[in-house]
Amino acid sequence: MLETVRYLIGSAGPSGYGSKSTAEEVTEACADLRSITAIITGATSGIGAETARVLAKRGARLILPARNLKAAEETKARITSEFPTAEIIVLPLDLSSFSSVRSFASRFLSLRLPLNLLINNAGKFSYERAISEDGIEMTFATNYLGHFLLTKLLLNKMVETARETCIQGRIVNVSSSIHGWFSGDCIHYLHLITNNKIAFDATRAYAVSKLANVLHTRELAERLKDMEANVVVNCVHPGIVRTRLTRDREGFLTDMVFFLASKLLKTIPQVKQNF
């Protein structure tokens, strides 16, 4: 209980930072990231966009994958208007499509750039049952399978970059504490909702995808250790913050809930200090 209170009021922890600390504050100690190349999914809005902005401020080269290229170019324009020397590359990516993920990875690798940081941030909360072009429930396809395949295709490049530069690589999988809301057989449940054999529960489907992110992180951490790779993988719950993830449920009730909780929720700049 005491730890929860300390978290809510923003008390500093052992690191010297608390829940109210911002990404800019946390990255002041590593203000020069010009040697870092980062890929950030879901960077066209919300916490992904703030992550991109702060990393650009510190000098990192950014790769912004996006399904909506217009939105990605607008994000790039906003960042470069604030930081004119920022190097930002926009590439197409639809995480719900295996072919799109493979195409993105191929395009990126053809640039022959290093890769130090992969932030798997993009998320989808489908309120209605939908199926991806590969025949998989859309929330799971986007939040987990797309990021799983993306990480797999880029892992060798990350290991190679870490070895050649002696800079530790980092993979960040953005999950949610809601992953603990699911219990049971994940694979069987996924089969049922994909094939419309049970009523679709949007929250449970989202929880399954976030649980898969956690399990992926744990297994990948063990494999990286066995490989003796200078790459670490972390899974984070960024805190509770209002982003475009709730855009399909905008309205009086959603507005009222977030208004009443606003003093306890994180702002978008405060979220990214977790990374």
Active site residues per annotation: 206
* 26/39 Cα distance (integer angstroms): 20
SS (H, E, C) the chain: CHHHHHHHHCCCCCCCCCCCCCHHHHHHHHCCCCCCEEEECCCCCHHHHHHHHHHHHCCCEEEEEECCHHHHHHHHHHHHHHCCCCCEEEEECCCCCHHHHHHHHHHHHHCCCCCCEEEECCCCCCCCCCECCCCCEHHHHHHHHHHHHHHHHHHHHHHHHHHHHCCCEEEEEECCHHHHHCCCCHHHHHHHHHCCCCCCCHHHHHHHHHHHHHHHHHHHHHHHHHHCCCEEEEEECCCCCCCHHHHHHCCHHHHHHHHHHCCCCCCHHHHHHHC
Q: Which residues are CB-neighbours of 18 under 8 A, at least 6 positions away?
A: 6, 7, 10, 11, 12
> Which residue, 157, 54, 173, is CA-closest to 108?
157
